[in-house]
Amino acid sequence: MSSSTTETTSPQGFSLEGEAYVEAIIERYRQYVNPGLARLMQFGGFGDVEVSAEGCVLTTATGAQYLDFLGGYGVFSVGHRHPKVVEAVHRQLDRLPLSARTFFCEAQALLAERLAQLTPGALQFTFFSNSGTEAVEAALKMARVATGRTQFVSTEGSYHGKSMGSLSVTGREKYRKPFEPLVPGVTFVPYNDVEALAEAVSSQTAAVILEAIQGEGGIIPAKPGYLTAAREICDRHGALLIVDEVQTGLGRTGALFGVDHEGVCPDIMTLAKALGGGVMPIGATIATAPIWERIFGENPLLHTSTFGGNPLACAAGLATLEVIQEEKLVQRAAERGEQLLAGLRAVQQEAGGAIVEVRGRGLMIGVEFAVKDVAELTINGMARRGVIAAYTLNNPKVIRLEPPLIVTADQVDTALRAFREAALEAISLLEGLEESVE
């Protein structure tokens, strides 16, 4: 996509030529934010500063435009700056940005009602927070109180966040070990292994926590029957089923929720990312009435959040749900997902064994390479061709493609061309290096 050097005047008052502005911001990352992150981003080909975005396109300080096929790891499901969401937040901002926390909040009440109507089964009450990891923290606390038990079962390769509780049930030792000891009593089993799950769950298990698709684990969908079996195993032992829909929720997989593909109803569901419409951060933990009564029946303030359920975030959430319905984004995710999967599998055939698998549902798709370096070079090559992608946190051999659900057929074709060229270039480069070493 196009690029040029222009003067940038930022909302914070910066006014420098494009490249000088970029270096000034990167230097502040080095000095005040995270020097290691600055090095990593520059090495990966992302040494620019984002200054604006619209729909599926992001513009940087140097004038470069990128087609966003990462979508904020699932945040920008309705695109960047969707006008209906921005307008709703503006309206709320002009009236009451944050709650005084002493009176009732209209936007929170309406959003909780809408979620109760949309979520599966008997899910009814919502606790609002500000992020996915906070939503999971609430779910774990709820499960302990509601069952009187302290043990949890999670899966290897899972990702539920990096605060202490959610990290404790995240299935990658690399991220857990530096912070140990964490919350005790967590057992990890292989994802999609029903027998291992059945063996791990007992009368001491408070809850099983699962993703409908393992996102950071490498975009691994639940096999047919796995979530249904998990529901039955939990029921057999009196344990709760927590389904983490932070990435899969709100249309991403071609169904409104990932569990809808099997008609499974969890006891507790977590949402975040897409719920804020790409404009406001918000998390949500939704549970059934009996669970809510056990947790908050005696003390309605047992778990609280100062900024959770604030009017701006809830206004964004309400507008987002309207956009998803009005623009038929669940159906569009399924249609564009089929197009993207077919195109990626065609490249897989062309690449031979260098691409191991293309998998996913809707617009949550992973491409697994045989060699991690090829995946990294492909991401870099796509960026040079104006398309943003990234690898999955727990499996760097896998490139994730999660564009906004508003993405067009032409934009999918553009991304596929960039992926094909970048992947074949990376494969050829690595083969050339191996031959030269020999």
SS3 319: helix
User: Can the peptide bond before residue 181 be classed as cis, meaning omega within 30 degrees of 0?
Assistant: yes
Give the sheet arrangement for strand 50-54, strand by strand.
50-54, 57-60, 65-68, 387-388
Asked about 328 being catalytic, the answer comes back as no
CATH number of 83-326: 3.40.640.10
Catalytic residue among 48, 244, 260, 267: 244
Q: Which residues contact 123 (CB under 8 A, 6 or more apart)?
A: 115, 116, 265, 266, 268, 269, 286, 287, 288
Q: Which residues contact 28 (CB under 8 A, 6 or more apart)?
A: none
Instruction: Show the tokens assigned to 418.
Output: 């960039």
CB hemisphere CA count around 228 (13 angstroms): 7
Distance of alpha carbon 345 from alpha carbon 347, whole angstroms: 5
pLDDT per residue, tens digit, the chain (438 aa), is 544 444 556 677 666 677 888 999 999 999 999 999 999 888 878 899 999 999 999 999 999 999 999 999 999 999 999 999 999 999 999 999 999 989 999 999 999 999 999 999 999 999 999 999 999 999 999 999 999 999 999 999 999 999 999 999 999 999 999 999 999 999 999 999 999 999 999 999 999 999 999 999 999 999 999 999 999 999 999 999 999 999 999 999 999 999 999 999 999 999 999 999 999 999 999 999 999 999 999 999 999 999 999 999 999 999 999 999 999 999 999 999 999 999 999 999 999 899 999 999 999 999 999 999 999 999 999 999 999 999 998 899 999 999 999 999 999 999 999 999 999 999 998 876 665 545
What is the pTM for the complete model shown? 0.94
Asked about 273 being catalytic, the answer comes back as yes
Query: What are the start and end residues of each CATH 3.40.640.10 domain in the chain?
Result: 83-326
Catalytic residue among 66, 226, 267, 273: 273
Helices (H), 247-309: 289-296
Which H/E stretch holds residue 23? Answer: helix 18-28
pLDDT of residue 437: 47
Distance of alpha carbon 197 from alpha carbon 175, whole angstroms: 23
Instruction: Show the tokens assigned to 23.
Output: 């270096």
pLDDT of residue 393: 86
**Residue 61 dihedral angles phi and psi, to the nearest 5°:** -65, -25
Triad 287, 175, 140: Cα angle to 5°: 15
Q: Which residue has the tokens 């062309």?
A: 350
Whether the CB-CB separation of 153 and 189 falls below 8 Å is answered with yes
Taking alpha carbons only, the member of 184, 192, 269 closest to residue 226 is: 192
pLDDT of residue 5: 47
Catalytic residue among 21, 66, 159, 191: 159
pLDDT of residue 344: 98
